[in-house]
Structure 1
Amino acid sequence: MTLPWHGPAAEHFPGIPAWGAATSRTALPALPVVRMAGVTPEWAWGGADGAGVRVCVLDSGIDAGHPMVGAVDLAMTVVFGEDGNASVTPADPIDPAGHGTACAGIVRAMAPRVSLSSMRVLTDSIGGTGRALLAGLEWAIEAGFDVINMSLATRRPELVPALHELADRAYFRRCVLVVSAHNMPIRSFPWPFASVISVAGHDQPDPFLHYYNPAPPVEFYAHGVRVPVAWAGGGRTVASGNSFAAPHITGLCALILSKHRWLTPAQLRAVLYQTARNVTDGAHHAVAELLPPGLAEGTAGAR
């Protein structure tokens, strides 16, 4: 039998951003699991509020005056000198585009006491340069944030080596990168990297509902269709996109870390896996179908 994570990527669902899943219409397969005892949503984030966790939103800025966002502890931006070199400097906590504010508002709604900071690498038109992305990401990693939300991607392959180095550096510094998949069925970066937590959208409204995706290249699905979000100028809107699925996972990470401070990125990813809706105790019966007879019997005995 072919293991699900060895299978092809999921087909594109009409009306859902690329790499996402219409989980309200098509059930995902139940996945077998060797469960870590006691790891449930209640254990993982029950009673948590994000206190003590530092999150950086790497985006178009954050509007600190928006009622859905609240305090912004640091606001930084990338500037270029006359020599063309990039540097990071303090900036006003504003966001003319609204994209970063939307992401920040989602994180704040899920983890109300989290420390939010902004690293602006995108322009008013939600565009940016590769040099700005690299400089902003490096600053955020070195600044020691616990979680960095990256609802953005680049299609430039020449940036891949530098992005890979930064993603690996973040991993070993216990800095979790949560990155949205592209909204179109094209390859971009850094969301396909193994050292980041990649996210695409599902179409159910529960902000805490997430699924594990065993088919490459996206790892988790979160609420990403018809999401109520903060927007520029203090307003609100309803938006769809993988950009808005990623901060739901960022919010969950902040809650989990505020309750279990010493989890490594690998352990945090495992907790997300264990608490995914389609990874359940009810799926353990399928282990025998996926393993050789002797190993299946041994696994059953160990349980």
Structure 2
Amino acid sequence: MCDVMILDSGIDRRFFNELTHSYEYDPDTHEVRETKHPQDLTGHGSACAHMIRRLATNVRLGSIKILDPNLTGDSKSLEAALELCLSLDVSILHMSFSFRSFHITSRLKELFQRISNQGKWVVASVENGSEMSYPAALPTVIGVNGTLMPESETIWVDQGKPIQVAADMTPVWTHQDFSVYSLFGGNSKAAAVVTGHLARLLLEQNQNQQIDPCCLLAQTAQRFSWLDEELQRSPNLEITQPVYGHTLPINVLNRIKDIVSCYCNTRTGDHHLLLSKNGLSQNQFPNFIRDIASVVGIPANDMQWTFRHFSSFSHFICHIERIYHHESKTYA
């Protein structure tokens, strides 16, 4: 029995050594095969698992690796994974990914419908920065949009929307060895929050899956309706008072912007990967942290950072705000 099957980049058994199932897709044979030595070369799937288990501590996790080291996949790998899940005793399928195209094959629609007919639930994230994407927009899927919220585990539920759930996308700390995903945020994190809540409620209440999953999620939701424009997918970085209700002094914010622009050679208003292999090199990182720490007024050693991934400048500023206002414990 598997409570949550994570379809992603794999789950590293070094950190999750009690996986109920572990499979990986073979692009040469187009088949999914069982593996006794699962790997996660990006850390993305492991970060999803971390977030889910953070909310549902007793959850039984399984993994189907369908994304490559560049976090890309195709319809054939997803079809193979869904076909396998039809034969497995699994409650929830978790997908922190989306299609770049709004076209979805009839074969995939059929497979998602068959999964739903078996009483299995699918949670999928919307593409970052988008209002809607597949498979999250399918009626047989619990779609999740990310937004910035005051608490990292907050969710909103509205069954009447095509994308029924909104959840916090603010980055959280995961295990430092999860490759560059030590800081995990965006819609991938938001979807993992929803799956974690769903698994926890299912286990705590010993529910059978005849109940509607959105009705179950409503038990922990803070809101049940919202306007699409309320979702802060890409907040205005010129505003120094984001949703947390705190402010960075304008001189501090401007100095941080200058430092980021200097090191990353990019405009801070762009929605981009702020610190990555293509942005800030690892040997630059200590100097970067030293300069940021001097602006924030906290010794660099106290920040306890390693070379990590920030999904955008807005996520980076959210983290700096919490450090500045001595709230970094919210990431523990």
TM-score (norm 2): 0.61
* C-alpha contact (below 8 Å) 2:116/2:140 kept by paired residues: yes
* C-alpha contact (below 8 Å) 2:6/2:49 kept by paired residues: yes
Displacement after TM superposition at 1:199 (Å)? 0.9
| Residue-pair matches, total | 224
AA in 2 matched with 1:65: R
Gaps of 5+ in 1: 1-51, 281-303
* C-alpha contact (below 8 Å) 2:47/2:184 kept by paired residues: no
Displacement after TM superposition at 1:72 (Å)? 2.0
Displacement after TM superposition at 1:96 (Å)? 0.5
Give distance in 2, aligned partners of 1:138 and 1:205.
39
SS in 1 for 2:90: coil
Q: Note closer, same or farther for the CA distance 1:245–1:259 as it changes in structure 2 (3 Å cut).
A: same
**Structure-2 residue corresponding to 1:249:** 194
Deviation digits for residues 77-100 of structure 1, max 9, x if unmatched? Answer: 11144xxx4211112221001110
Displacement after TM superposition at 1:143 (Å)? 1.1
Displacement after TM superposition at 1:275 (Å)? 3.4
**Structure-1 residue corresponding to 2:54:** 109
**Structure-2 residue corresponding to 1:56:** 5
**Structure-1 residue corresponding to 2:41:** 96
Give distance in 2, aligned partners of 1:214 and 1:260.
21
Give distance in 2, aligned partners of 1:205 and 1:117.
31
Residue 145 of structure 2 corresponds to residue 173 of structure 1: no
- Return the structure number with greater relative CO, CA threshold 8 A, min gap 6: 1
The percent identity for this pair of structures is 27
Aligned residue among 143, 149, 155 for 1:198:
143
Give distance in 2, aligned partners of 1:268 and 1:249.
10
Aligned residue among 203, 221, 227 for 1:258:
203
Q: Note closer, same or farther for the CA distance 1:108–1:275 as it changes in structure 2 (3 Å cut).
A: closer
Displacement after TM superposition at 1:73 (Å)? 2.3
SS in 1 for 2:69: coil
Displacement after TM superposition at 1:114 (Å)? 1.0
Displacement after TM superposition at 1:119 (Å)? 0.3
The CA RMSD measured in Å over matched residues stands at 2.5
AA in 2 matched with 1:133: L
* C-alpha contact (below 8 Å) 1:65/1:234 kept by paired residues: no
Give distance in 2, aligned partners of 1:259 and 1:239.
26
Displacement after TM superposition at 1:239 (Å)? 3.0
Q: Note closer, same or farther for the CA distance 1:183–1:96 as it changes in structure 2 (3 Å cut).
A: same
Q: What are the within-5 Å matches in structure 2 for residues 1-303 of structure 1?
A: 54-66=3-15, 69-81=16-28, 85-91=29-35, 92-156=37-101, 159-185=104-130, 187-204=132-149, 206-213=151-158, 216-230=161-175, 232-233=177-178, 237-264=182-209, 266-279=211-224
AA in 1 matched with 2:7: L
AA in 1 matched with 2:22: A
Give distance in 2, aligned partners of 1:96 and 1:213.
36
Give distance in 1, aligned partners of 2:181 and 2:107.
36
Q: Note closer, same or farther for the CA distance 1:163–1:111 as it changes in structure 2 (3 Å cut).
A: same
Displacement after TM superposition at 1:227 (Å)? 2.4
Deviation digits for residues 248-270 of structure 1, max 9, x if unmatched? Answer: 11111111111333433652321
Displacement after TM superposition at 1:206 (Å)? 3.1
SS in 1 for 2:137: coil
AA in 2 matched with 1:141: L
AA in 1 matched with 2:34: P
* C-alpha contact (below 8 Å) 1:64/1:93 kept by paired residues: yes
Deviation digits for residues 204-256 of structure 1, max 9, x if unmatched? Answer: 35344211246743211122122223465578622321011111111111111
Tell me which moved more, 179-188 or 143-152.
Answer: 179-188
Deviation digits for residues 48-74 of structure 1, max 9, x if unmatched? Answer: xxxx762111000001212xx452222
AA in 1 matched with 2:117: F
Displacement after TM superposition at 1:120 (Å)? 0.3
Gaps of 5+ in 2: 226-332
Give distance in 2, aligned partners of 1:158 and 1:267.
27
Give distance in 2, aligned partners of 1:173 and 1:54.
14
* C-alpha contact (below 8 Å) 1:102/1:231 kept by paired residues: no
